[in-house]
Amino acid sequence: MAGASEHEEGGGGGGAAEVSTTSPFWKAMGFWGYLTVFVSVLALFLSSISTPSAHSWFLSLPDDLRSHYSVSKPIKAHLAPHLPPVNVFAADYGPRDSETVLLLHGLASSSFSFRHVIRSLSSRSIRAVAVDLPSAGFSDGLGHRSGGFFDWIRGVCRDIKEKGLFWGFEQMVEKGSNPFEEKPERNSAAVGSEDLGRIIGQVIESMGLAPVHLVLHDSALEAGAIWISRTPGSVRSVTLIDSATGLPAFPWGLLGVPVLGEMVLRSKTLFAGLLRLCCSRSVEGSAAEAHRLLLRKKGGKEGVLELAKGLNESFDVGEWARSEGVRSLPFLVLWSSMWSDRWIDEGRRVAQAIPMAQFSYHSGGRWPQEDAGDEIAGMIAEFVSSLPKSIRQVNEDQDLAVAVDVEVEVEHAHTQKKLVERSNDDNDHLYGEHQQQPQQHYVNGHMDMYGLGQEWWN
């Protein structure tokens, strides 16, 4: 009986212990005990290497990057009627009445990488336009979240930094639930090549570029191919620069690793070494620093990860090139002969998959616009010049509408007094060639995007 009593008492004690440890309070305490050490240390570390504010970020840009920004202009693009417009920046060089070459960069790159190419093309009497795709360069991000475990961890750290270290504990005690338990679901409208293709088309239409000689670098192949398939009559020729499906040069996966990704973007030496290892062996230190700073802007790293996850590795370049409306286009494939035997074989495979494509090697890396810009520009210019001249119908009403739209943005950045003083010069300035006075026309209008006024440039 005594044993039975002891057994009953022990059982009763075990039941009480079981009840107490499974209560919401003790569940919260257990979770918080494990999470506090990891998240608090991680949040403390990330706070020291967090993304800088837009104002401080812009002030940290080197002169050559600010100069590139000054000759770029924002084009408003719309993904859907219910979504806000996206500012897509485009650098425009060369005479407007000449052949137009539109250059689209690859993953983790931007229009800045084509700075030598577009200047070299314009010196050959070719209009060259390089676009910052959404989330890249100075363009806006599309605002989608990809979700996943690492995004959840970053969200936890962000909540702790914004709401305090004990916010989660208070929520668990008050509500009896774990505020960090739910992980973000993958957005069904994740950024993909369809979105990019739509935006490319709007930029071409807004700037009146068609028909264009389209240059696709690296991962821009799929997005450009989608737009070409929809409007083949707006394309005069296609040039592929080291562009293969699902094989971007930049190792984007590193940016998605917590702590490591931030360290790479934080360190000038690590990032420059990464570019020389994977993209361009002779990239200049100043250029590597410019690319690093562009990825350090708010949403820059997240944009790369989102676009990379949206790439379609099953895209068949040969099937696309043989499709209706595309197979009649002239193709030029430019490929690195200085990288690796495997990459050289990949270039041959791409060229063989495209009927009647011209194939040439260049002496640069997988980002050849950085270390062989003049060579690339010469090959493109020679290819474009070998084709019959394009017939472009100039729509004066459309040009006037674009000019007025740009002037409206300028008006919002200045006081009424300055507008009155400059009103006599506006008409000549709006219809002047972009490359003659690029800074005064565009910089003052969109500088306030980064919290800076006109006086900063004076």
The residue extents of the domains of the chain are 2-48+147-175, 54-142+190-385, 397-457
Sign of the CA dihedral 254, 259, 264, 266?
Answer: positive
Task: Output the pLDDT for position 409.
Answer: 42
Task: Output the pLDDT for position 62.
Answer: 86
Quote the crossing angle between the two packed helices 24-48 and 167-175, to the nearest 10°. 160
**Contact partners, residue 96, CB within 8 Å, separation at least 6:** 127, 433, 434
Low-confidence ranges of the chain (pLDDT < 70): 1-55, 57, 143-191, 392-458
Query: In the CATH scheme, what is the homologous superfamily, with its name and number, of domain 54-142+190-385?
Result: Alpha/Beta hydrolase fold, catalytic domain (3.40.50.1820)
Task: Output the pLDDT for position 162.
Answer: 53
Task: Output the pLDDT for position 211.
Answer: 94
Tell me, yes or no, if the pTM score tops 0.75: no
Sheet holding 127-131, edge to edge: 72-77, 86-93, 127-131, 100-104, 212-217, 235-241, 331-336, 358-362
Task: Output the pLDDT for position 354.
Answer: 95
Task: Output the pLDDT for position 248.
Answer: 94
- CB distance 265 to 256 below 8 Å: no
